[in-house]
Homo-oligomer: A and B are copies of this chain.
Amino acid sequence: MTDLTDLPALSASEAAARIRTGSLGSEELVRVCLDRITAREPVVHAWAWLDPDAALAAARACDAEAPRGPLHGVPLGLKDVIDTADMPTEFGSEAFAGHLPARDAACVAALRAAGAVIMGKLVTAEFATYRPGPTANPLNPDHTPGGSSSGSAAAVADFHVPLALGTQTAGSVIRPASFCGIHGFKPTFGRYSNDGVLATAHRLDTLGSFARTVEDLLLLDAVLGDAADVPTPTPVVGLYRSEAWEEASPAMQDALEETAARLRAAGYDVIDIAAAEPFAKLAEAQAIIHKREAWLCLGEIRRTHAAKVSQLFRDFIDEGERIGAEAYAGACAVQDAGKAEEAVLFGGADVLLTPGAPGIAPEGLSATGNPRFNRAWTALGTPCLGFPGGSEAGLPLGLQFVGRSGSDRALLRQGAAMLAALA
């Protein structure tokens, strides 16, 4: 007889192992997740769509068959900008109420093939931009969970599901992970397929993941990216305060410095990395590219559904329309130069240590916080592993390890080792 008490806290890796060996049924696990959701959803509001009967039926189907893959029977949630053929995909907008895509996104097909139970869809800010949904930070419901992957971060942090997918175009994976005290992973640009994911900015849109352990992020990465492992030497860590250092709160600054000191104490070689051109311009370039490409991708929606979209969204798109072709081309050139000079930025470091957000989750649910510490990495396309690195006033402070493009699995393994050393 399984002790149900701890089941919602089970990691995906543990759950998958227990389901594989028969010591846990998927239905059992899904049922306790649903109970947890029932108890907490009135406060957290993480879910845009959830059908308990369908989730239980999917779990029973898993229990009735041999394991299909590494996520067999494991429940997870999807940001509501990821197409599902059997559940609505509403993009956080009443303009798409009840919208039912005709086919699964490529990532959803991969998850199903790996045996995952797709529980439902998680609240997103409107069209994955800035107008928040109703989700509250589960650690303090007066504070934002961050966005735009608000429901994804909150659902994982609050033990509704062990895994969730989100997207990052400015800072929408690492920032909410930081605010909710969990791990987030933004892979190298292009590593996970965007097929069937709402396009909001082609040079930036990146599918990412949320979990409570790095091991779970590795498990998901093997399904969505690839499982081939590369050599993983002990990394030289670059302490990167960035050109936005003065925008980090004193508590965030302390958390970063302390983490660096503790890594040194644990035997890691930690060196200082200075912010240099063209990297200092990447955040600004990201903001220009984001607005211009959002206008391109979402402009028709803004026009067609003008009465059903928010003023915030309309303004964002209209700003994008005003960005001229020349300013956009200049921003793209900064991005391209940054990508080509990535090795210069990293200097002698293999992994950079830098803030995941300016500080703790701001109070209020009317905004999702500042992506200032995420913009440059999204523009650069480098993999980022967000992790909790301290706290203030009972809310977490999230830091991130940033790896070189393509080093995704090495970064996750190195990150896991460093976090173990810090624990």
Interface residues of A (CB under 8 A from B): 96, 99-103, 106, 109-110, 113, 188-196, 198-199, 202-203, 225-226, 228, 230, 293, 296-301, 303-304, 324-326, 328-329, 332-333, 336-337, 339-342, 405-409
Contact = CB atoms under 8 A, between A and B. Distances in A.
A202 B194 CA distance: 8
A199 B196 CA distance: 8
Copy number in the complex reads 2
A305 to B, nearest CB: 11
B199 A194 contact: yes
Contact of A102 (B102, B106, B192, B199): B102
6 contacts: A99-B102, A106-B297, A193-B202, A195-B199, A325-B409, A329-B405
Contact of A198 (B195, B303, B406, B407): B195
A127 B99 CA distance: 25
B192 A296 contact: yes
Given A103-B99, A340-B339, A326 B199 contact: no
A326 B406 contact: yes
A230 B325 CA distance: 8
A278 B114 CA distance: 39
A191 B329 CA distance: 10
Contacts of A101: 101-103
Contact of A296 (B99, B113, B193): B193
A276 to B, nearest CB: 15
Given A102-B102, A194-B202, A195-B199, A301 B109 contact: yes
